[in-house]
Chain A
């Protein structure tokens, strides 16, 4: 067992055995520059630096949540700084040195509302002004259709081969919005008129998504020697792997001119299945997940940022942000009480919040339906439902957000910057179990236990207040529902299409199952008993269910939903979701996604 794994193993042991943190052993003061107060210098450094990993977490001298929040902000500053421009334009070569920060520019530069467009010429489809993370590899570059990642990443021109289409090179952009749902669970929209949804959601502003990885992950995947049908001896993404998930919205003309959004041209798709076609439009960034694996933090550090106008307009009015579920029933495993609830740690107190009741997705069962007559996306969808913000934001994160705002004001260089309109939602540094009761002292590591972004994970309980097993479809025999049982799976861990597979349920509609008591983290090197004891929540808990079965039969969490056996064997790839997808096609896509996530 290597040192870093030992440290996590020891930490997990303490957390499990104590229920709360127990002080033991001695502390050694460790330097954590990434956790010091954010100053104007941090915001204006040329270039911005990716903060060094936090030191090992010590139970008797713990890193505070404020420090982790500052670390998350420093990552945001670096990743949203300008990417380095190529020294000279060459045909077939990226105009950006992908994955590298521009040594001559900084976070102030990229905060210009016209940053992207100022770097765009009429003769090239690529802008020279790209953020560091935007230059990362799109998931379809990591796993092209039936092919393997190849080439020298920093110089690669973006090229996208999906299972249902190949993007013409003349249309390629660095941002590629090929996902149209919140991991198959919901589709989410901003009303076009005021705060009230249109009768048909297709008439409103839809939110689209993309996933990207840095060169560390790209090169690791590229370097794997995979024999079809044979598991790798060990699959373990290297330290300094970074994955990004970004949410973008279509902007009204007023919002596009508001100077409050980072905007960029991006690919999006129209048309069903094989008839899908790539299109290009300008979108506004509204959500950003950043996950990074580091020494002592093998389960990644998860952080997420939101645009401050997602729920409330600058004048304080509701934006009317709403979603449709792709299911119309929800269930829990049998052990959940008749009063399902979660316990949130705000950093100052614990809060017990009821969850929706299982059954139909209705107002009576606890969903904030918007009244009116609306067109459903599919025969088994439900909505529109208002996006709510439960009291999950920690005092530490709010304090650090204010600290950053103060630093921006002090610097005097962010008066017109779009970055003043983004805020950290939360950060998850290490796994822990949910606090067992509100009537006890909180575990400091449960702050942001239910980390979720209001535009990327919006529905309760499945993804906004998530813990345990991934929300998936209910499986049942043809006669009796057995919602507590996991479905049969094939050798690729895909749900078998047998008579047990009943989603969408033709009789009662599609259902989402929430298995809240399933341990979901299996970290390499941590003993079996410990692995099976943690029921993590939020982003980390969900990603922890993405596992790889090594050649020796051991299984470990790999925390990436981009990896699959098919993809590793170059037999897969991703499908580009059309933004206007609805009906049977959306049902099928949601079914496929949820089956994959619940493996």
Chain B
């Protein structure tokens, strides 16, 4: 089992609602977790209202959702994200962040993550896909 990738700080204002969707397509098992400022996995809610704690896990080469791969949480200062796989190499993590900024008003934003578990000869960044979106206001 590889190491967790080094945790990366989420650039989302504290107090904002965050929704996420995680999918996998890989031979190695994939894992994602969001940790708090103390390094502890946070608790989130799936859309049926149930409470779960990271990490979440996905298995199989068919594109599919991680177990509990849809959810929401409220951002707090110091939250970080990291990835892991069941192979021997640390996951490579690519990310692209956007912000919805209209007429100078920020309505929200998000980050799209893709990982590669280094299971093949060349990286293809298609082992984990995670979208993470936040909204400035709720309701």
Contact = CB atoms under 8 A, between A and B. Distances in A.
Question: Are A and B interaction partners?
Answer: yes
B9 A354 contact: no
Interface in A512-548: none
A169 interface: no
A349 B8 contact: no
B42 interface: no
Contact of A351 (B6, B10, B93): B93
B95 to A, nearest CB: 4
Contact of A440 (B90, B97, B132): B97
A352 B8 CA distance: 9
A505 B80 CA distance: 39
Contacts of A438: 8, 93-95, 113
B99 A352 contact: no
Interface string B1-41: 00111101111000000000000000000000000000000
Nearest to B12: A439
B53 to A, nearest CB: 20
Interface in A390-413: 391
Contacts of B81: 439
Nearest to A336: B6
A436 interface: yes
A415 interface: no
A348 B96 CA distance: 7
Nearest to B118: A354
A341 B80 CA distance: 15
A350 B94 contact: yes
B6 A341 contact: yes
Nearest to A349: B96
B93 A352 contact: yes
Nearest to B116: A351
Contact of A439 (B3, B11, B89, B92): B11
Given A349-B96, A350-B95, A350-B96, A436 B9 contact: yes
A354 B94 contact: no
Interface residues of A, number: 20
Nearest to B110: A439
B95 A349 contact: yes
A338 interface: yes
A340 B89 CA distance: 13
A349 B96 CA distance: 5
A339 B90 contact: yes
A437 B92 CA distance: 13
B111 interface: yes
B40 to A, nearest CB: 17
Could you tell me the dominant secondary structure of chain B's interface residues?
A: strand
A353 interface: yes
A354 B90 contact: yes
Interface string A442-464: 10000000000000000000000
Contact of B9 (A337, A339, A353, A437): A437
A52 B3 CA distance: 49
A477 interface: no
Contacts of B5: 339, 341, 352, 354
A441 interface: yes
Contacts of B80: 437
A153 to B, nearest CB: 49
Interface in B88-116: 89-90, 92-99, 111, 113
B6 A337 contact: yes
B6 to A, nearest CB: 4
Nearest to B83: A352
A348 B123 CA distance: 17
A341 B2 CA distance: 14
B99 A441 contact: yes
Given A339-B6, A436-B9, A351 B97 contact: no
A439 B10 contact: yes
Nearest to A353: B92
A338 B95 contact: no
Given A339-B3, A339-B4, A339-B6, A441 B11 contact: yes
Contact of A352 (B89, B92, B111, B132): B92
Interface in A495-518: none
A354 B91 CA distance: 8
A440 B96 contact: no
B8 A441 contact: no
A350 B114 CA distance: 11
A570 to B, nearest CB: 49
A351 B94 CA distance: 4
A441 B90 contact: no
A438 B10 CA distance: 8
B11 A354 contact: no
A439 B90 contact: no
A353 B97 CA distance: 17
Interface in B73-93: 80-81, 89-90, 92-93
B51 to A, nearest CB: 24
A349 B9 contact: no
A339 B8 CA distance: 12
A382 B52 CA distance: 48
Given A352-B8, A354-B5, A441 B97 contact: yes
B94 A349 contact: yes
Contact of B6 (A349, A352, A391, A442): A352
11 contacts: A341-B6, A349-B95, A349-B96, A352-B92, A354-B6, A354-B89, A437-B8, A438-B8, A439-B8, A439-B10, A442-B97
Interface of A: 337-341, 348-354, 391, 436-442
Interface of B: 3-6, 8-11, 80-81, 89-90, 92-99, 111, 113, 123, 132
A-B complex: 8 closest residue pairs judged by Cβ atoms: A440-B11, A349-B96, A438-B95, A352-B93, A437-B9, A339-B6, A354-B90, A437-B8
Given A339-B5, A437-B10, A439-B8, 17 more contacts: A338-B3, A339-B6, A339-B90, A348-B96, A349-B96, A350-B94, A350-B95, A352-B93, A352-B95, A353-B92, A438-B8, A438-B93, A439-B95, A439-B97, A439-B132, A440-B111, A441-B98
